Chain A
Amino acid sequence: MKPFACSALLLMLLPGFALLEARQSTVYVSVVSTKLFVVGAPNPQTGLFYQKTSDDTLWQHTGRNNIRAFGVDIHTPSRGDVLCIASGNGVHQTTNGGKTWKITTGWRITEVLSVAIDPRTANTIYCSTPYGVYKTTDGGTTWNERTNGMGTLFVQTVLIDRNNPETLYCATEQGVYRSDDGAATWKKTGLHVGGVRSLTKHPTKSNVLFVGTDDFGIYATSNGGAYWDKMAAGLDHVAFYTMVFDPTNPEIMYAGGYITGVYKSVDGGQSWRRMNDGLTNLNVHSIAVDPTNGNRVYAGTMFGGVFKSENGGTTWRYAGLGGSQVWTMTVQPF
């Protein structure tokens, strides 16, 4: 999966071109299934796909297909060498940019819904499952359950505070849990709603988080989870599967969910409006913003593939992977 070696060479030889190339980010998407999915069949158009931001509708596949890929996380300091996929079979991991892959988890860890790599060390990885949270500190050789203090085991998402990686948050079926000791213990935050489906943290303000729920809309906290406010201004829907900050301007946020299309906020989540021009599938499960160009936004849909906006969500166009259930997306600045 490492088509970047040539680019690196060019970068050294051609400074002008290198500047252009340096602005090329990489988009990763995990495809759980497609409209053609059949249990036991090969289901080739599933798994992890990636493209350069200039690649239009062209996507390349890496790793195994037919794995029910729910999530993906990239160890940014490795520039994509270390990468994990959260999948039905467990955690698929590569440490060489996709040349080889290994399922590092055994049978006890299944239906992995999200994975999070510690930005300080790629040996520390967390994953969330319907059976709790698991952690490895040796790069996947051994995994241990980390659910002490959790009242529910169904954990949709585990999120690392990248400013303080000992702090983690979990979106669960019974609210949001927080750990301040690397998942050794968990405490329930002040949010008491069920079916928390997504969780996102402000790029720089550690205590600012937003969650999307299956039936209760969007909540936000500005104090690390002690108190939560329901965000209502401009929201006409209740089920939100994804929320993201624009890393280039955290006052800008995007959210999507069940028949919502894409909502955008320009005031840090206080108010929202729908931006669906050209978005022909309104079931949005994942959104990602290019960290090198905040106007470039991607929306992954349920069985409708990927849509792309080059103007901050004002208009959208189809960007490939039609028919796919695009569960997670991320754009990396390399």
Chain B
Amino acid sequence: MGALGPMRTTFNILLLCTIIAVPVGAQSIFEQRHGEVVRIASGERDRSFSTITAKLKAGNDVPYALALLDTLTVDEAIGGMFYSYSLIGCYLHTQDLLPDSLKRKVREAYRTRTMYRGDTENHWVMYYTGLYLAAQTWPNEGGSRWFNGRSSSENFQEAGDWLNHWVTTSSTIGQGEFDSPTYVTTFITPMLVLYDFARDPVMKKKAQMMLDLLFVDFAAEHLKGNYGGGHSRDYPEDIINPLAAPSTFWAWLYFGEPGFPPWNETRYRPRHRSAWEPVFGAVSSYRLPDIIYHIATDRTVPYVHRETKRVRNVIRAGREMNPPVYKYTYVTNDYILGSLHGGILQPIQQHTWDVTYASDKPNNTIFTLHPFYSGKELAMFFPEEEKFLSDEVDRYHKVYTNPNKWNSSSPYEQTFQHENALIILYHIEQGAKQPHVDGFFPKNLDELLRDPSGWIFCRAARTYVAIYPLKPYQWMEEEVNWRLRSHELNNGFIVEVGSADEDGSFEAFQEKLLQRKPEYKNFDSTRTVEYTTRQGAKMKFTFDGERVLNGDRPSFKDYGFFNGPFIQSALESGVIRMQYKDKTRTLDFKNVSIVETP
């Protein structure tokens, strides 16, 4: 130790004390990071309203920003609903900095450009948020001044009515496009803009409450930047590499996790036309409540979180317009194991289950699926011709009919989860397209053992995963993963997940699993499996039949709207109560109020 040694030590202790003394919470995280988002985004040269906003707010690259905004008012490179909300958001944030000529061009865009409303929930949120704020900004104008021929007041009324309808639906029976690591951006960003600029205090309050709801819904299934559990929609690239999803950026900005700035990280590889929508968060006056920050980051005690969502509108070949989706998630400090109950719950991009674990490596997830596709499935949700829908969807989602795809809903897949154990069953009809199930196992696992007992053991950092395939399979090497493929039509997997905290060593975890096997005699006819978890829970599951746990039949009704230690809400109540230690925050959507205690 040199002469300065003791002084350095004292300094370090003081520094540590200072760090400890600074209250960590949503505010401090946001204050540290929002300026950086604007600064970095202001140096980007992508063609987005987000980076234009950042440039103008930061006073950086202003001539370019103004020129680009000018171009985008007439250039139809982007259009429709994406254009509708982000143009008005950019305008309202920066109007004091815009020359009058450019203001007039922005106004004119809402007359000359077609703002297509689209056919998904996120499309409508973007479209009507944009229309609401544009009509509010330019009131008392006739139909000839608007792209749709409707007057300012007609547009304002219609947009407000639908936004109210969406808020009510989302806060009582849930979103159709729920918990999507990709599409969550298309809900958060319009709500941020609506919160910042809605003049009606009730609409502003609803936007704030929807932001709270979107973030706490994410927070309860969040682990170190990852959006865990089942998802209504996501892209294959994000499913096999969770931190690549746009939700990571929001988590970094508001939850303080992951620790690395997304734009510098190879694991974060946004695919969309602009990855900078969080600029609208960085410049917003919305502040995440501390309680949501703590819900997102405190993983000291493992917990079960259950919730109910809904299927998007079923317009044909269904018995209900919006059947419920039951979602079960087990969250620990090391991993999240989560599942949707199965079946077709969202067309095209459903992700039914996975275990996502904390790791400093990419591709930190394991899951299985049946790569289903069908014109009939699409025709349930879209009005175009069934016999052409698959090809149409393939044109812009690329992988819909691909037998190797990593996202899919399937009528032949069902799940039953209890804490950190999961049973997935498949019953693929004879003659079905793509009659196989696939499993994703990253190649960068720290340990992988396909044991002669039938168990596949995986270790990734502190997380242990054991998977027991019920039927024979083939094992194929791909670029970043191993692909398990089984061609058996009646099929399934037992999954148990553990960790160093829960099981001690990886060997000890394996030892526990080697002592147990599922019972599934005559499975092809009964499609029933029985399994006792390493923690002693007796699970019995029949495809299209009962889920039995320790002799009881757990009811999906117990899921409520939210049912977990951090969020409680009765289905259709419109009252959502967050809890963290002795603090609560209650969103009462029926009375448009927020109550905090203490």
Contact = CB atoms under 8 A, between A and B. Distances in A.
Interface of A: 32-33, 35, 37-44, 64-68, 70, 88-89, 92, 100-103, 106-107, 110-111, 113, 130-131, 152-154, 173, 195, 197, 214, 239, 241, 258, 283, 285, 302-303, 325
B395 A110 contact: no
B387 interface: yes
Interface residues of B, number: 39
14 contacts: A37-B392, A37-B396, A40-B123, A41-B78, A42-B76, A42-B79, A89-B148, A100-B143, A103-B150, A107-B128, A107-B161, A107-B162, A110-B119, A325-B388
A42 B388 contact: no
B117 A40 contact: no
B380 to A, nearest CB: 10
Contacts of B147: 64
B385 A241 contact: yes
Interface of A, secondary structure class, is: loop
A37 B393 CA distance: 10
Contacts of B81: 40
Nearest to B391: A303
Contact of A38 (B158, B383, B388, B396): B396
A103 B79 contact: no
B362 interface: no
Contacts of A195: 386
Interface string B48-86: 000000000000000000000000000011111111000
B202 interface: no
A22 to B, nearest CB: 32
A42 B81 CA distance: 11
A106 B158 contact: yes
A197 to B, nearest CB: 8
Interface string B145-161: 00111100000001001
A102 B150 contact: yes
Given A32-B384, A239-B387, A302-B385, A40 B392 contact: no
Contacts of B384: 32
B181 to A, nearest CB: 19
Given A42-B76, A101-B149, A110-B117, A33 B392 contact: yes
B116 A66 contact: yes
A160 B150 CA distance: 28
Nearest to A33: B392
A41 B80 contact: yes
Contacts of A68: 116, 119
B554 interface: no
Nearest to A105: B158
B585 to A, nearest CB: 31
Q: Give the residue among B83, B123, B313, B387 with the most A Cβ atoms within 10 A.
A: B387
A40 B117 CA distance: 9
Q: Give the residue among A41, A88, A107, A154 with the most B Cβ atoms within 10 A.
A: A107
Q: Give the residue among B78, B79, B83, B143 with the most A Cβ atoms within 10 A.
A: B79
A314 B114 CA distance: 40
B315 A102 contact: no
A47 to B, nearest CB: 9
A40 B114 contact: no
A37 B392 CA distance: 9
B315 A89 contact: no
A152 B82 CA distance: 33
B144 interface: yes
B142 to A, nearest CB: 11
Given A107-B161, A239-B387, A64 B114 contact: yes
B139 interface: no
A42 B147 CA distance: 13
Interface in B92-118: 114, 116-118
Contacts of B387: 214, 239, 258
A13 B415 CA distance: 78
B409 to A, nearest CB: 19
A153 B317 CA distance: 11
B119 A111 contact: yes
B299 interface: no
